[in-house]
Amino acid sequence: MRKNSFLLAGKHPVIEAIKNKNRKIVRIYITENSFKQINKEYEPKNIFNKIAIVFKNNKELSNLCGSNDISHQGIMAEVEPLDQISIKEFIKNNKKNINFLALEDVTDPRNIGSIIRTAASFNIDGIIIKDRLYPEKSKVMYKSASGGTEHINIFSVSNINTTLSYLKKEGFWVSAFDSHAKKDFTSHDWKGRNILLFGSEGYGLKHHTLKNADFHFKIDISDNIESLNISNSVSIICHYIKNKLKRLEDN
């Protein structure tokens, strides 16, 4: 292993990494059976062209996976981290209407991976996350993201509130999602530049972070249920906003 490289496990994370021209693939670890199946699936293009291939059996791949309780599906890849654009560069070079997610103290790699997958699926422009909490080399996160990490900007920052204050000066509206809020998120028009702010899986958003928000929203759910898992909440909200903005563009 190279000093800065790390391992991805599973078909979707690895294939999407190979497709990403900005991702450096050091080598592929794969069973002979998976090699034949994937090459057949991507005929006539040789998807492994010019990539170093190391054949392993299933047990050897499981040993590489470690004790993460994830399935390697007969393929793993050693990759290097992506070079990420800064938020300042992104908003300088991009459209007027931008939607970011901001995650405060979300720690579960599976949740982060699921959120990345959702954000990439529904055309969110980027995810803001504390650098010390972003599991950049986690096989679990990449497997949960199912290749989504190759299709979205991840902005790892030292301080969420400092970043929110900067973005508010750049014309962004901060919308905090809190189960105790009074207003349903579907009542908002979602035009312009938005930051969708979510808190910890356990205690939600911190008080001083909530004060940084321009709006406080909730998802209207049954009174029998206290709250939704954060990745479920993000999916509902991002799907709604994508379709709302599409309808506005079509009219």
* Cβ neighbours of 59 (radius 10 Å): 8
Q: Could you tell me the pLDDT band of residue 95, with boundaries at 50, 70 and 90?
A: confident
Reported as a pLDDT band with limits 50, 70 and 90, residue 69 is: confident
Higher pLDDT among residues 99 and 250, named by residue: 99
Q: Which tokens belong to 154? A: 């991840």
Q: Are strands 75-79 and 98-103 parallel, antiparallel or unpaired?
A: unpaired
Domains with residue ranges and CATH for the chain: 6-79 (3.30.1330), 87-250 (3.40.1280.10)
Within 8 A by CB and 6+ apart from 142, the residues are 8, 9, 10, 13, 113, 149
Q: State the pTM of this model.
A: 0.93
| Per-residue pLDDT band at 67 (split at 50, 70, 90) | confident
Supply the mean pLDDT for the chain: 94
Confidence of residue 225 (pLDDT cuts 50, 70, 90): confident
Q: 139 Cβ partners below 8 Å, 6+ apart?
A: 6, 7, 8, 9, 65, 66, 68, 70
pLDDT tens across 122-159, in order? 999 999 999 999 999 999 999 999 999 999 999 999 99
3-state secondary structure string across 151-197:
HCEEEEECCHHHHHHHHHHCCEEEEEECCCCCEEHHHCCCCCEEEEE
**pLDDT tens string 1-41:** 778 999 999 999 999 999 999 999 999 999 999 999 999 99
Query: Which tens digits make up the pLDDT trace of 182-195?
Result: 999 999 999 999 99
Q: Helices marked H in the chain — which ranges?
A: 11-19, 32-41, 58-65, 87-93, 109-121, 139-145, 160-169, 207-210, 230-250
Query: Which element (helix H / strand E) includes 200?
Result: none
Whether the bond between 109 and the residue before it is cis, its omega within 30 degrees of 0, is: no
Q: Is residue 250 very low, low, confident or very high in pLDDT (cuts 50, 70, 90)?
A: confident
For the chain, the C-alpha Rg in angstroms (whole number) is: 20
Tens of pLDDT, residues 159-183: 999 999 999 999 999 999 998 899 9
